[in-house]
Copies of this chain bind each other. A is one copy, B any other.
Amino acid sequence: MIPIKVDSSWRGHADCKNCAIRGSVLFGHLTEDDLKLIHAPIDDLEYSAGSVLFHQQDAAKHIFTIKRGLVKVTRLLPDGTERIVRILRAGDVAGLEATVGDTYDNGAYALRQVSVCRIPIGVLRKLAAHSPRLHSSLMQKWANQVRESDNWIAELTHGPSRQRVARLILKLADTEEPSLATLFGREEMAMMLGLTVETVSRAIAAMTREGIIHRLDLHGRRYRLERDALDDVAVPA
């Protein structure tokens, strides 16, 4: 089902004080004294596209702050099929459930090259005991996850295929350059939208023909978007 690749590389212990995205992550508000409390190591890891952060049901020993890249969160159904339920981006946290339970509720896999800080749950607990601000950061992360899941349900699981594909493309648009988007393999897009590979492919092909999106590479991953036209497809008046 899942290609099991555990393909991470260790890039050293994290240097929280000088973290590039310190403002948006869990430890952003901690003081130097707080950080000194950390004894167990926080590791700075790289995962290549397709590799595993953790599987559903694994013992939950770490939470992962995502510094770069995209992570898919999947859920395994009793009948063995797998569904993508959310995507995490830089600033999000994977495996938050480690703070309240002892196994992961779902699997997390790198969709592209990903950089994370892997924080042992013990460290988190220790720091949490001292820092109310960390508490509110955690709450904030939880709230984001719920909002994302709810959006996902509302936007990507209902409606005609064209519309769903359009909405997914918009969701994947670059944050800095909103008229560019990097898609995934058709198979994965299909799993996100509850459609088949062929239907996704046809929708993209049709929109390309109609000039709503423009293919920029040979693999069909990178596109330039005609925002106005695409918005119209995504949210029909």
Contacts and interface: CB of A to CB of B under 8 A. Distances in A.
B157 A86 contact: no
A142 interface: yes
Contacts of A85: 149-150, 153-154
A54 B44 CA distance: 43
A75 B140 contact: no
A79 B235 contact: yes
A237 to B, nearest CB: 8
A140 to B, nearest CB: 5
B236 A105 contact: no
Contacts of A139: 99-100, 138-139, 142
B154 A83 contact: yes
A211 interface: no
A157 B100 CA distance: 27
Interface in A128-170: 128-129, 132, 135-136, 138-140, 142-143, 145-147, 149-155, 157-158
5 contacts: A77-B154, A83-B153, A96-B146, A106-B150, A149-B149
Q: A-B pairs with the 4 shortest C-beta distances?
A: A142-B142, A149-B149, A157-B157, A158-B194
Interface of A: 73, 75, 77-79, 83, 85-86, 96-97, 99-101, 105-106, 128-129, 132, 135-136, 138-140, 142-143, 145-147, 149-155, 157-158, 194, 235-237
